[in-house]
C-alpha cells in the first residue's frame, strides 16, 4: 500500500507535466520550399535587406538539400531579415537554432568567413566564423524573456570574397511552457516521496 501510494505521488506530476510540456514548433525554415537561383529574393520567410544571397544546392552535400549562400553574385554579402517579427512571452522557454557550413568553395581556406546573427534585443551581433570546408554545424540558443517582446531575426554574411559566403539552413524556433509553480511543488513532493521510499526500503 505504501509503495502504491508513493508511486502514485511520484507519477502524478509526470502525467500532469507531459501534455503541457510538449515542445511546440514556432518557426521552421529548411528552405526546401524555395527554388534555387543566384541573387534570389523570393524567399517565403525572409527579405533580402542588404546585398544579395543565393538559393543554392549541391556543393558536395545531398543535392536535394536547398540552403542559402550568404554571399550572392553581385559583389556584396547579403543580409536576410525575417518577414515576421516573432513574439516571445515570459510563459515559455525558447530554443532557437540554425545550421551553418563553410562556403565549400576554393581559396583563402585559412581565413574564416562570418555570419552575424541578431534577434531583436535578445541577441545582438552574435558572430560565427567558419573556414571554407567546415561541415554543417548546428548553433543552439535557449532563452527566456522577462516581458513580452517581439523580434525580427537577422543573418548577415561577411568575409573576404563577397560572392562566396557561409551557408545557412534549418532555422528553427521552438518553445516549451515554463513549468507552473503548482507543478513545481508537486515535483518537489514527488522527489520527497522518492527519498521517503528509499528510506522505507532500507529499513
Ligand atoms: Ca535545406
Ligand atoms: Ca554566391
CATH assignment of the domain containing 124: 2.60.120.260
* Residue 63 and residue 1 share a domain: no
Please, are residues 146 and 182 in contact by the beta-carbon 8 Å criterion?
Answer: no
What mean pLDDT is predicted for residues 22-50? 97
User: 132 and 183: one domain?
Assistant: no
Q: Which residue has the cell 543566384?
A: 38
For 144-179, the pLDDT digits (tens) are 999 999 999 999 999 989 999 999 999 999 999 998
Distance 132 CA to ligand 2 centre (A): 13
Assign 182 to helix, strand or coil.
Answer: helix
CA-to-CA distance for 66 and 33, rounded, in angstroms?
Answer: 8
What pLDDT was estimated at residue 197? 62
How many structural domains are present in the chain?
Answer: 2
**Residue 9 sits in the same domain as residue 73:** no
Give the ligand with the smallest distance to the CA of 30.
1
Whole-angstrom distance, CA of residue 26 vs CA of residue 202? 47
DSSP structure class, residue 43:
-
Distance of CA 179 to the CA centre of its chain: 21
Q: Are residues 105 and 10 in the same domain?
A: no
Q: Ligand 2 centre and the CA of 38: distance in Å?
A: 7
| Ligand 2 mean position, distance from CA 74 (Å) | 8
Q: How far is the CA of 73 from the centre of ligand 2 (A)?
A: 5
Neighbours of 142 (CB within 10 A): 11
CB-based burial of residue 144 (10 Å sphere; 0-12 exposed, 13-18 middle, 19+ buried)? middle
Amino acid at each position: 500500500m505504501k509503495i502504491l501510494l508513493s508511486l502514485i505521488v511520484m507519477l502524478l506530476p509526470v502525467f500532469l507535466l507531459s501534455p503541457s510540456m510538449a515542445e511546440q514548433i514556432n518557426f521552421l525554415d529548411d528552405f526546401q520550399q524555395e527554388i534555387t537561383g543566384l541573387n534570389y529574393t523570393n524567399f517565403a520567410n525572409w527579405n533580402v535587406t542588404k546585398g544579395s544571397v543565393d538559393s543554392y544546392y549541391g556543393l558536395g552535400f545531398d543535392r536535394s538539400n536547398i540552403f542559402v549562400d550568404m554571399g550572392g553574385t553581385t559583389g556584396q554579402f547579403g543580409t536576410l531579415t525575417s518577414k515576421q517579427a516573432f513574439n516571445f512571452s515570459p510563459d515559455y522557454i525558447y530554443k532557437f537554432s540554425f545550421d551553418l557550413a563553410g562556403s565549400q568553395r576554393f581559396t583563402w581556406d585559412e581565413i574564416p568567413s562570418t555570419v552575424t546573427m541578431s534577434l531583436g534585443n535578445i541577441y545582438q551581433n552574435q558572430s560565427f566564423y567558419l573556414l571554407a570546408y567546415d561541415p554543417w554545424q548546428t548553433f543552439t540558443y535557449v532563452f527566456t524573456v522577462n516581458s513580452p517582446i517581439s523580434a525580427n531575426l537577422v543573418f548577415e554574411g561577411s568575409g573576404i570574397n563577397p560572392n562566396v559566403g557561409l551557408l545557412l539552413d534549418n532555422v528553427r524556433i521552438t518553445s516549451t511552457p515554463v513549468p507552473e509553480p503548482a507543478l513545481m511543488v508537486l515535483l518537489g513532493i514527488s522527489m520527497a516521496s522518492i527519498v521517503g521510499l528509499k528510506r522505507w526500503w532500507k529499513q
